Amino acid sequence: MDWKIIGTTFALIFIAELGDKTQLAVFARTIEARAPWSVFLGAAAALVASTVLAVLIGGALAKMPEKINIGIKVVAGLMFIGFGVWTFVELLRK
């Protein structure tokens, strides 16, 4: 177990998720449901499940040649930028 990787991963995800749409959705759901512990358990289970999926897929992709992994990172980055541009254009339309 590599505690440095655990710590840096925690810090990266924690900072990335602050103010994220998932956090805002949990905030809104807690207000609506008025059952904070139920919302917490549901949200925590969903985040664990999506993280397990990401780790399994990442583990499988890590076994591929480096050129393919670089291509996947480039495509993912372009998709991220594309979604950002799309969101911005939709905002301007309103």
Confidence of residue 66 (pLDDT cuts 50, 70, 90): confident
> What are the φ and ψ backbone dihedral angles of 12, each rounded to 5 degrees?
-60, -50
* pLDDT at residue 42, rounded to an integer: 97
Looking at residue 37, what is its pLDDT? 97
Q: Provide the whole-model pTM.
A: 0.67
pLDDT score recorded for residue 69: 84
Q: How far apart are the first and last CA of the chain?
A: 49
Start-end of H helices in the chain: 3-17, 21-33, 36-62, 66-93
pLDDT band at 18 (very low <50, low <70, confident <90, very high): confident
